[in-house]
């Protein structure tokens, strides 16, 4: 496999392909990324969402915006409004702003109702003045899909099938397989309490998801990935504008989810994990069974979440929803496979989430 790495939208990208990517294809990839950033980045003064927040009233967006916002409506319904792209002002107030001050500068507020304040009419996006959109819950995943689409279209246009044997797009852990790999990609799930360890392994390939049991996309999320002063982090409950949980709760809490707990296991032998993870295996303790529930109301959040889906966008959105809703419910509503990991070192997963070395 040929590997090409670069930085974009604040994260590290790695494109793994059977052959080097042709310069014209790489130029198309960077053009897609730049268009996305110019549309949705709240960190750019020249972006469309920044102009909208400044009072532009309406902006033109790419055609794929409709799919993204439709997912946000589904995520909002699934989580009782906890996932909402109108959290931009609260993230700014908490210090996650365009200047990366990483110091709270104001009071976070509940996000306004998405359907009441934002309207998408074809490619025209309208909003009330002052609304700041942040698509962090699912946007990176969608961009991974768009880049994967460029590779797939380049392959279909070529006479010699340059992607024969499959390819992988990885943007900071949001992954999408393009085509069919000769061997499934094995990916370690990082232990949120010790980033040098893995708690299990999943496999990705270019399957059709639910219909054949192979998932082409994976995403993961954890508050420890982006923290700053005062225990702040980037995963907010839109209903309050505050980060989910707190340090005490995240250190000592357990959350109620679907019945599926880890048996006692220690000294797990490290599987043949993709070179994307150099972690050593973790020790995972058993937990007592808990009653299956729907959305997890007043429950402490997990330490980390993962989802596999037919698209990286859905997987990305699902990982955020899992901080507020039961894995089985998320899997059923979004057509994905879902797992969360709590502070008591218990894994809770949907029945269709296949993970190795956790049983």
- pLDDT tens string 102-161: 666 777 788 899 888 999 999 999 998 888 999 989 999 999 999 999 999 886 666 555
Please name the fold of domain 184-349: T-fold (3.10.520)
Evaluate the CA torsion angle 327, 328, 331, 333 in order and state its sign: negative
pLDDT in tens, 80-109: 999 999 988 888 877 665 665 666 677 778
The continuous run of DSSP H or E covering 189 comes out as strand 185-191
Name the DSSP class of 272: -
How far is Cα of residue 229 from the mean position of the Cα atoms in its chain? 23
Listed ranges 157-171, 217-231, 268-282, 298-312; the one with the highest mean pLDDT: 298-312
Mean pLDDT (the chain, rounded): 79
Which pLDDT value is given to residue 250? 32
pLDDT above 60 for 50: yes
84: number of Cβ within 10 Å = 27
What does the pLDDT average to over 24-30? 95
Q: Which residues of 327-336 are buried (b: 16+ CB within 10 A; e: fewer)?
A: bbbbbebbeb
What does the pLDDT average to over 299-308? 85
The continuous run of DSSP H or E covering 243 comes out as strand 242-243
pLDDT above 50 for 233: yes
Beta-ladder partners of 295: 325
Of the candidates 280, 282, 287, the one whose C-alpha atom is nearest the C-alpha of residue 347 is 287
Quickly state the pLDDT bin for 321 (edges 50, 70, 90).
Answer: very high
Alpha-carbon distance of 308 to 172, in angstroms, equals 15
Largest CA distance in the chain: 58
Q: Is the pTM of this model over 0.75?
A: yes
Alpha-carbon distance of 176 to 167, in angstroms, equals 8
Q: What are phi and psi of 347, to 5 degrees?
A: -100, 135
Alpha-carbon distance of 66 to 149, in angstroms, equals 17
Which pLDDT value is given to residue 192? 86
Least reliable range by pLDDT among 45-49, 143-147, 175-179, 247-251? 247-251
Evaluate the CA torsion angle 119, 125, 129, 133 in order and state its sign: positive
Quickly state the pLDDT bin for 313 (edges 50, 70, 90).
Answer: very high
Q: Would you list the domain boundaries of the chain?
A: 184-349
Crossing angle for the helix pair 65-78 and 327-334, nearest 10 degrees? Answer: 140
Which pLDDT value is given to residue 155? 66
Name the DSSP class of 195: E
Give me the torsion for CA of 286, 290, 295, 297, rounded to 10°: -100
67 or 159, higher pLDDT:
67
Which pLDDT value is given to residue 65? 96
What does the pLDDT average to over 161-166? 67
Quickly state the pLDDT bin for 214 (edges 50, 70, 90).
Answer: confident
pLDDT above 70 for 207: no
The contacts of residue 352 (CB under 8 Å, 6+ apart) are: 210, 213, 331, 337
What does the pLDDT average to over 1-14? 93
């Amino acid at each position: 496999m040929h590997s090409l790495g670069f930085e974009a939208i604040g994260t590290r990208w790695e494109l793994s392909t059977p052959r080097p990517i042709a310069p014209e294809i790489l130029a198309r990839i960077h053009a897609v990324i730049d268009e996305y950033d110019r549309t949705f980045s709240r960190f750019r003064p020249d972006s469309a969402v920044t102009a909208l927040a400044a009072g532009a009233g309406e902006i033109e967006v790419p055609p794929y915006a409709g799919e993204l916002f439709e997912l946000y409506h589904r995520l909002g319904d699934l989580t009782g409004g906890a996932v909402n792209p109108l959290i931009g002002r609260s993230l700014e107030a908490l210090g996650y702003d365009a200047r990366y001050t990483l110091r709270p500068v104001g009071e976070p507020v509940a996000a306004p109702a998405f359907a009441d304040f934002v309207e998408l009419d074809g490619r025209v996006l309208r909003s009330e003045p002052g609304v700041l959109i942040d698509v962090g819950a699912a946007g990176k995943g969608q961009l991974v899909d768009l880049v994967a689409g460029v590779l797939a279209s380049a392959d279909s246009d070529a006479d010699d099938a340059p992607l024969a044997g499959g390819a992988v797009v990885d943007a900071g852990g949001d992954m999408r397989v393009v085509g069919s790999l000769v061997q499934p990609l094995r990916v370690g799930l990082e232990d949120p309490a010790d980033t040098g360890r893995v708690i299990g392994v999943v496999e990705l390939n270019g399957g059709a998801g639910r219909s054949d049991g192979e998932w082409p996309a994976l995403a993961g999320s954890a508050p420890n990935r982006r923290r700053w002063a005062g225990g702040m982090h980037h995963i907010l409950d839109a209903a309050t504008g505050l980060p989910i949980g707190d340090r005490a709760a995240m250190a000592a809490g357990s959350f109620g989810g679907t019945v599926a707990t880890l048996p006692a296991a220690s000294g797990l032998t490290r599987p043949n994990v993709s070179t994307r993870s150099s972690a050593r295996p973790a020790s995972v303790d058993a937990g007592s069974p808990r009653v299956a529930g729907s959305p997890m109301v007043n429950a402490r959040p997990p330490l980390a979440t993962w989802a596999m889906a037919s698209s990286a966008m859905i997987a990305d959105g699902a990982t955020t929803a899992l901080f507020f809703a039961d894995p089985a419910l998320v899997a059923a509503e979004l057509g994905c496979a879902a797992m969360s990991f709590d502070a008591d070192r218990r894994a809770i997963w949907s029945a269709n989430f296949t993970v190795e070395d956790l049983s």
